[in-house]
Structure formats: C-alpha cells, structure tokens
Chains A and B, each alone.
Chain A
Amino acid sequence: MTGMARDTPTGDLRLANLTRRFGTLTAVDDLSLTIAQGSFFALLGASGCGKTTTLRMIAGLDEPTSGQVLLGDRDIGRLRPYQRPVNTVFQSYALFPHLTVFENVAFGLRRRGIRPVDAEVNRMLSLVQLDGYGPRRPAQLSGGQQQRVALIRALVNRPQVLLLDEPLGALDLTLRRQMQIELKRIQTEVGITFVHVTHDQEEAMTMADTVAVMNAGGIEQLGAPADIYEFPATAFVANFLGRSNLLAAEAGGTSGGDVAVTAHGTRFSVPAGRSRADHGPVHLGVRPEKLNLVGSADQVPVGHQHVTGVVTDASYLGVSTQYLLRTGWGTELSVFAANTGTSARVAVGSEAVAYWDPRHAFLLPRDAVDTDPTASAPNEPVGASS
C-alpha cells in the first residue's frame, strides 16, 4: 500500500450531505454528521433504514450519489477501498472460504507488507478465544466463531476507523457481553474510531459515547445515550430506543415555566425544558419505568400527575413486573414496577392509578393525524428491547 502508512489521513470522520440513491429509492438521504476521532459511535435503526449503505460509502465499497466523506480535512470519498485507513466487519462476515482462519486474519497485514504476522495473528485469535483454530477453514466454524474471525480480521489492522456492521449479532449473551467489554477496551486503548451498527440498544447504550438513531435514510436524533433515552426528539426515537407511553394531547402554551397540556379531557403539565413543542398537537410521553402504580388517587404524592385505569395484564419478569393499564379513554399504558418487595402486586382487573413526576415526562410535536402510537400496538412498540 504505497505511501499509505506515511500519508494516512487522520482526524474526525465527517459525512457531509451524503446521499445514495438506488434508482428511485433513496437509501441514504442527505446525511451529515461528525464522529470525533477515537470515539465510539453507535448507529441504531430499523432494518433497511440505510445503515449498511452508509458504512459501505465510508469504506469505499459504494459510491455516494452526492456528498462527501472526510477524514480530518482530507476528502477520502473518491479513494479506492484499499487506499482508505478504514476496515469493515461485514454483516455477512465475508470470510475467504479457500483460506484458513489464520490466513484470513493475516490477509490485511500481508497486503500491507507487514511481517512477521504470526505473533499478532495468534494474539488476536486468543483475544476472541479461538486459540488453535488457525488451521481451520471458515466453513468448519460455527456462526459465532466465524463472526469473531471477521471481527479480528478487521481489527488486527488497527485502522483509523473501524466499521462494524452488527458484529456481535450471532453470539450468545455471555460471549456477547464479553466481546463488548473487549471491544470497548481495545477501542479506548488503541484509540480507533468505531462506527458500530447494532440492533441491540442495550449494546449501543453501554458501549457508545454517541448514539445516532437512523430512520428512512436520515438521522432522527444524535447524542449521548442517556440524553437520547431521557429526552427523545421524536415519537420514532421514543419508541425505538426503549419504550414510551405516548398520549396524543394538545399543548396550550407556556405559563410559569410549564407547558399546559390537555389529553382526553384531562389537564397535565410538563416543564418547558422538557418540551419540544408548546402549541398544537403533541405527544405527552412518559417512560414505563417512570410510572408508579397505586390503588387510589389519594395515594399519589403531591406534585405528581396521574391517570386512572383498569389493570388488564400483569407479567412477572423477575426483576420487575410489567403492567398494562387501560385508561378511561381506551389507551393502554405500560408500567414497569421494580420488584423491590416494598409494594404489593396489583391484581389484574382491579382499578389502579398510575402517577409520575412531571419532570420525567416529555412533550414531542405530533402530526395532527397521529393518534396514540401506544394505543395501536400496546404490547409491541417498535424496536422493543430484547
């Protein structure tokens, strides 16, 4: 790789108005974002929203229809894939079937003329607990083992940017947690910029410095995991990252630092700092774990807001119990009650009151046609966590 080592572009990875069309379909739509050098960036989004296409354009495997890919101040968008200091862990692994596991891992090092490779390759193999698997062919490995080989085949090159397309999807929970810790450790140690596509939001939240939620080719929201979770920007994000109870409501303007909201004839308020709209149709959102369930309205603490309903379902999950509360107007709210042992369980069919602290609620703008997203599919919000 002539000159690449000396003249490697470094710095923040920036995508500028990146667009990719396949015929009439716009897979990536005017995407702009900056990923700080050495940071762990997670890309979340429903299937088919353009995550893989975005990664392919960064790697140089797909040509943007328009827009730029920049590393530091260098435009790498027109470089060939092998000229970019970027490596990919492919969603489909793409291991070379005719080469041994060892040669697969050594491939990148050899192409760059680095030798000897043995020590480094074996170190990587033991990192993912595949000692002794070097002489095998990929077809003689299980899916999870193949995935680990795909991971170290890219990682061994210590690129500026590592693109990971669902690199841990085929692993069992224990191994997955182990690999997450390992990945995070390597990332902090070596200072590689990680762009990590995942469907596991827990993974995204625990590992990433910054999370971006993608929808239909664009970024819906970008920020620190806690910020996105606590104050989602759109109804899509609110239900994609974790679950939310969203009530269709009308906002009636700000007064004294609070936005007044009317939902189904009941008045609520939300702090102005947690409102993304203060007029017209809105969603009033509360996370299920922020709701508390009590038997009657006089048990609701001062300063809290509540709705009354009938418990239609109670699922015992061990650490918590998940209730469904059908409100007077037909919406079903989900409530997670931690099994701390301090409060009695509420029986199905009994009347109950769900209350919350207004500082935990949030207001999102709503298209006038939207009704309660929670009402339409109470049990299966989009992208519910596993």
Chain B
Amino acid sequence: MRLWRWLADRWVMIVALLVLGYLALPILVVAALSFNRPSSRLSYDFNEFTVDNWRRPCATSDMCDAVVRSVQIGFLATVVATVLGTLMAFALVRHRFRGRSAINVLVFLSMATPELVMGTSLLALFVSAGVPQGFWTVVISHVVFCVSFVVVTVKARLAGMDRRLEEAAMDLYASEWQTFRRITLPLVLPGIVAAALLAFSLSFDDFIVTNFNAGTTVTFPMYVWGAAQRGIPPQVNVIGTAMFAVALLLVGLSSLRGRRARRTAAPVGQVEFGRDAGTR
C-alpha cells in the first residue's frame, strides 16, 4: 500500500528520469569511450582509462580534416540558409502576394521530402547541369534543406510579434530602418539565432544528402561511416563529446543570460515574477 502511494505521488518524475536516462545513455557511453584505450581496432569494450585521445585528437589526421570540412560547410550553409530563410519568412508574414500560400506549402514539402529523395534528385540535377561534385555541391545541397527549417522557425517568431510595436516606434519618430533595427530585429533575433543553430546542427550531421553529392570530399559523418567498417578510432568519441559539451555550454549560457536580464530588470525588493519577460 505504502509503495503504491509513494509511486502514485512520484510517477511523473520517475517517468521523466527514465526518459532522460534513455536520452543521455548513448552520450554517456560516447563520453566514456573517449577516455578508453581500446584493446583492438574493432573493440567497443572499456579497456583502460587514458587521456591520450583528448591530448591528441588529431592522431588520425584525415579525421580532423573531415571535422574542419564539416564545420566549414556547416558555417557556410548556415549563413546562407539563415539569411535567405529569414528574408523569406519576412516576405511570407509581412506581405500578401500571389503564390504566397503555394510557397508555404513548398517550404513544408521540402522538409517532408525523404532525404534519400532529396539526395538523389540533387545528384541528378548536378550531373545533368554538369556541375562537378565536391565541397560546393555539398554546401548548396545543405542550404536547400536548411532553408525551410529557418523559414518555419523565424516565421513562428515573426507571426507572434505585435505589429503595433512597430507602429508605436514609427509614431515615436523612428524611421523604417530605425524601427527595424531597434524593434523588429531585437524581437525576432532569438528566432533567427535558434534557426541558425538548428541549421548548423542539421548540416553538420547530415549523411544521406551529403553522401550523394560529395564526390571525393569527405565530411565528418562520412568519415565516421567509413571508419565504422574498419574500426572507429577512439578520437571520434572525443569529437562527439566535445560537440555535445559545446552545445550544452551554448544552452547554459543563453539561459543564464535570460535569467540575468530578468534579475537586473527588477529593482531590489520589488521583484514580481508574475509573467515572463516575453522576449526570450
């Protein structure tokens, strides 16, 4: 009886912890293996603790080349997709034009398309257009699938923004540009940043589309795939853990910034936590 009562009170938390464990376990394994000295090339057992892998992450030099290439591609694809996607989101939310709803559907369609289909069709396009495959075809194809995610993310943020704020700014002597710079952009920025992070992570770990269009270029996911056949070097786990740590750091920083902004915004002794500041 006691046990049942105890469980009934806490089952939500127990389920939550189980789910968290389920999500975190693979990452923990990767983190642990990054400190492992494997007994053989194809062994995934924890053999012996070492920090060698962390000290010399580029021992297998072609892996580090692949990581750098993936970061370059991710960066380029993110910048282009974020700029294009943001402009497109503004057009879709702020203007009524012919074909607007058709574009909305197309944006969703490219997210719903299986990567396999997108990869092959891009390949067909590049081949028939006579474009040699390599670094730039990968960038182009990454931009293609990142743009729609950016559009959707920024659009949601923009649609939730009150147009009257911009009217108020104009009423208070802000020109169109000043209104954009001081009101619109700061309010939409969290959406744009979120979209850029999403685009980068989509691009960084894409394998299927990249594999079709990379030619002889090797990205990090392709390197890992290739290495898996021959035995993955433990340094791959170092890269994986480091990526996760960076992501964690970014999330931590942004939530810390949000909390600090809220705290400084309230004078001492008059703190009201009635509503969220609504800006992030």
Contact = CB atoms under 8 A, between A and B. Distances in A.
A59 B171 contact: yes
B279 interface: yes
A23 interface: no
A160 to B, nearest CB: 13
Interface in B81-115: none
A149 to B, nearest CB: 12
Contacts of A1: 173
B276 A107 contact: no
B264 interface: yes
A136 B171 CA distance: 23
Interface in B207-265: 262, 264-265
Nearest to B280: A98
Interface stretch (B134-142, B148-156, B267-275): B267-275
Nearest to A59: B171
Nearest to B175: A82
B277 A137 contact: yes
B167 to A, nearest CB: 5
B172 A87 contact: yes
Contacts, number: 88
B169 interface: yes
A136 B170 contact: no
A133 B269 CA distance: 12
Interface in A1-46: 1, 4
Q: Is the interface of A mostly helix, strand, loop or mixed?
A: loop
A133 B173 contact: no
Contacts of A139: 275-278
A142 to B, nearest CB: 8
A112 B276 CA distance: 31
B265 A98 contact: no
Interface residues of B, number: 30
Interface in A45-70: 59-61
B164 interface: yes
B277 A140 contact: yes
A122 interface: no
Contacts of A136: 265-267
A11 to B, nearest CB: 20
B274 A82 contact: no
A336 interface: no
Interface string A157-178: 1000000000000000000000
Contacts of B171: 59-61, 81-82, 86-88, 154
Given A59-B171, A61-B171, A108-B172, 13 more contacts: A60-B171, A86-B171, A90-B167, A94-B168, A96-B168, A96-B169, A111-B173, A111-B174, A135-B265, A136-B266, A153-B172, A157-B172, A157-B173
The 9 A-B pairs of least Cβ separation, nearest first, read A108-B172, A94-B168, A111-B173, A81-B170, A94-B164, A98-B279, A137-B265, A82-B173, A61-B167
21 contacts: A1-B173, A60-B170, A60-B171, A80-B175, A81-B167, A81-B170, A82-B174, A87-B171, A87-B172, A88-B168, A90-B164, A94-B164, A94-B167, A96-B168, A98-B187, A111-B173, A136-B265, A137-B262, A137-B265, A139-B276, A140-B266
